[in-house]
Amino acid sequence: MASVAHEGHGHDHHDDHHHHEENFISKYIFSQDHKMIGKQFLMTAVFMGLVAMILSILFRIQLAWPGESSDFLSFFLGEKWAPNGVLKEDMYLGLVTIHGTIMVFFLLTGGLSGTFSNLLIPLQLGARDMASGFLNMLSYWFFFLSSLLMLVSLFVESGPAMAGWTIYPPLSALPQAVSGSGLGMTLWLFSMTIFIASSLIGSLNYIVTVINLRTQGMSMTRMPLTIWAFFVTAILGVLSFPVLLSAALLLVMDRLAGTSFYLSDIIVGGEMLANHGGSPLLYQHLFWFLGHPEVYIVLLPALGLSSEIIATNARKPIFGYKAMIGSILAIGFLSFIVWGHHMFVTGMNPFLGSVFVFTTLLIAIPSAVKVFNYLTTLWKGSLVLTPAMLFAIGLVSTFITGGVTGIILADSALDIALHDTYFVVAHFHIVMGMSAVFGMFGGVYHWFPKMFGKMMNMRLGYAHFWITLIGAYGVFFPMHFVGLAGAPRRYYDYSVYAETDSPTADMMMDLNVIITIFAIVAALGQLIFLFNFFYSIFRGPKAPQNPWNANSLEWTTPVEHVHGNWPGALPVVHRWPYDYSKPGADTDFIPQDVPLAEGEEEH
């Protein structure tokens, strides 16, 4: 069927082809084409990720060399926030907060799910576009607006939000408690409100598209695992993001309307507040009801992308396709009943704590299934180590390494001693941050030809991968040991330990220097990626139609984008997407639109 893609330029095969003569604005700005929207998400997210990365380098410099003057800090922060090149305490918290917010929501949610759901759902399902192109466009522009607001909040006079990315009230509700809880927090809340709207519109669109717009023959059990992952991710988003909105809304009311949802019996800045009866724990429950599914909103798309990349480049079917779907569903379901493991030491009822221990540790089972299925997919494969494949393998490694420490943190009795220490920071950066980033990079390298019709430079891709992998482990591996030594997170300066325990302080400072150096190296490594990315868009060699010899439908579309994806009729699907190296076949891949041969059995 691949030949269909080359035939003619079909003008009349479907209805929504009326804007063939697209002008610059409708093609590049207010585009309703899912491919363009996917690219818009990617560009915006990459920019936001870059900002968040620079923020992290800024505070890493402070952590490694506290109190030392740094030109880099004064360059970015100026005299106001880094007088004489020394970071201010408040701004340290601001940097940490915005770094976390941007990374979790704008890079890993918007960038990963936004980019690849948009790009791949219609292409891999054999649909002309999303169910609603207009809503899809709206979803991007809400995302853009919320990104803008978040960036603006970095520049307000009283500083950006400073209560940590989880913005626990009362700290986030009281401008008297920290300066960032003034206008900065207001902007944060508005930005996130718009972000949630964007995410909701997007997710509903993805769900409807997956359910309704599959091409002929594309049954649910013939969908690539990427689509399963995006589908479940979208469901998680629809069910959990509104809860964050209510959490944020109640916080807005506490801040602006004098209500007492989260505030009770507070004296701050010498002022006795009359608020009584609110509960800070209520906020935490609402926040983590989103917050934990959010981890999987970030992680599942990365796992989906890597499933596809690993199968394609191992030239083998993904092992245990049905088990992979089952584990995605199980993870999705369980992710809703584990939020309390963030709250073991918050004063939540201990019995409730034990329930959450149980449910949380259950998640390890589908996760283990996924890992072993990946390993078996690699076993006896014929691996082609493209940069995408390397990133996907890196993802499996970080998923394991970060996942096993989760078993310790999920155990409430052990969490007591490790809660909110650097051990936790190391854990979630590896399992959620690195895995998702690796998945995203893998996705970009793998689908770049589909996005831009060009190939990325492979050598630069290798350099980028190795620097990123080594940098990531170099940053987050030692962090476990900083945490085991008892270092709380969000501390401006760990030399405070020197007063009571100088050997431990020395150890933390030593490791912090190592971590910062790795972080700087890893950050510089990303410049290679940025360069490769933009350079290849304009000057990369032209991509062949199916550069990786992959099976899924997106590779049957022409290299030059057309609105509606397939110039002729939609492809018809006859098989699952993982017929790689099938015995009896001529080639080591059989695209999904190739009918079963005489006497051939479906997998």
Instruction: Find the binding residues for other proteins in span 115-154 (CB under 8 A).
Output: none
Nearer to other proteins, 25 or 267 (CB): 267
Site membership for other proteins, residue 70 (CB under 8 A): no
Q: Which of 504, 520, 559, 572 binds other proteins (CB under 8 A)?
A: 504
**Window 265-304: residues binding other proteins (CB under 8 A):** 265-274, 276-281
Max CA pair span of the chain:
84
Q: Which of 361, 513, 562, 572 binds other proteins (CB under 8 A)?
A: 361
DSSP string, 260-302: -SS--S-EETTEE----S--HHHHHHHHHHHHHHHHHHHHHHH
Site membership for other proteins, residue 559 (CB under 8 A): no
In the 3-class helix/strand/coil scheme, how is 122-135 assigned residue by residue?
A: HHHHCCCCCCCHHH
Q: Are 478 and 515 in contact (CB under 8 A)?
A: yes
Least gap, CB of 520 to other proteins (angstroms):
14
Sole window of 52-60, 190-198, 209-217, 365-373 interacting with other proteins (rule: CB under 8 A): 365-373
Q: Reduced to 3 states, what is the DSSP secondary structure of residue 311?
A: helix
Site membership for other proteins, residue 543 (CB under 8 A): yes
Site map for other proteins, 308-327, x if CB under 8 A? ------xxxx-xxxxx----
Q: Which residues contact 367 (CB under 8 A, 6 or more apart)?
A: 327, 331, 399, 403
Least gap, CB of 107 to other proteins (angstroms):
22
**Window 13-52: residues binding other proteins (CB under 8 A):** none
**Window 396-415: residues binding other proteins (CB under 8 A):** 396-397, 400-401, 404-405, 407-408, 411-414
Q: Which residues contact 344 (CB under 8 A, 6 or more apart)?
A: 353, 356, 412, 415, 416, 419
338: tokens are: 């584990």
Site membership for other proteins, residue 508 (CB under 8 A): yes
Q: Which of 29, 148, 365, 597 binds other proteins (CB under 8 A)?
A: 365
Site map for other proteins, 88-117, x if CB under 8 A? xxx--x------------------------
**Window 449-468: residues binding other proteins (CB under 8 A):** 449, 455-460, 462, 466
Site membership for other proteins, residue 535 (CB under 8 A): yes
Q: Which of 220, 256, 417, 596 binds other proteins (CB under 8 A)?
A: 417
Least gap, CB of 334 to other proteins (angstroms):
13
Nearer to other proteins, 213 or 273 (CB): 273
Nearer to other proteins, 184 or 381 (CB): 381
Site membership for other proteins, residue 264 (CB under 8 A): yes
Site membership for other proteins, residue 478 (CB under 8 A): yes
Q: Which of 110, 353, 433, 571 binds other proteins (CB under 8 A)?
A: 353
Q: Reduced to 3 states, what is the DSSP secondary structure of residue 580?
A: strand
CA dihedral 433, 435, 437, 441 (to 10 degrees): 170
Q: Which of 27, 208, 420, 561 binds other proteins (CB under 8 A)?
A: 420
Q: Which of 11, 15, 219, 380 binds other proteins (CB under 8 A)?
A: 380
Site membership for other proteins, residue 578 (CB under 8 A): yes
Nearer to other proteins, 60 or 128 (CB): 60
The residue count of the chain comes to 603
Nearer to other proteins, 8 or 269 (CB): 269
- Three-point CA angle 131, 136, 141, nearest 5°: 170
Q: Reduced to 3 states, what is the DSSP secondary structure of residue 1?
A: coil
Sole window of 20-28, 232-240, 476-484, 557-565 interacting with other proteins (rule: CB under 8 A): 476-484
Name which of 225, 236, 247 is nearest 305 in CA terms.
Answer: 225
Site membership for other proteins, residue 345 (CB under 8 A): yes
Tell me which residue has tokens 């995006």. Answer: 230
Distances (CA, A) of 577 to 212, 391, 553, 566, 600: 19, 21, 8, 18, 15
Q: Reduced to 3 states, what is the DSSP secondary structure of residue 58?
A: helix
Name which of 560, 106, 489 is nearest 294 in CA terms.
Answer: 106
- Residue 439 to residue 444: CA distance in whole angstroms: 9
Least gap, CB of 122 to other proteins (angstroms):
23
Q: Are 156 and 148 in contact (CB under 8 A)?
A: no
Q: Are 235 and 332 in contact (CB under 8 A)?
A: yes
CA dihedral 577, 582, 587, 588 (to 10 degrees): 70
Site membership for other proteins, residue 80 (CB under 8 A): no
- Residue 240 to residue 223: CA distance in whole angstroms: 25
**Window 156-175: residues binding other proteins (CB under 8 A):** 162-164, 168, 170-171, 174
Q: Which of 5, 232, 390, 570 binds other proteins (CB under 8 A)?
A: 390
Nearer to other proteins, 26 or 581 (CB): 581
Least gap, CB of 75 to other proteins (angstroms):
5
- Residue 359 to residue 349: CA distance in whole angstroms: 16
Q: Which of 3, 15, 157, 350 binds other proteins (CB under 8 A)?
A: 350
Q: Which of 544, 595, 596, 597 binds other proteins (CB under 8 A)?
A: 544
In the 3-class helix/strand/coil scheme, how is 170-187 assigned residue by residue?
A: CCCCCCCCCHHHCHHHHH
Sole window of 130-138, 144-152, 228-236, 485-493 interacting with other proteins (rule: CB under 8 A): 485-493
**E strand residue ranges, 393-517:** none
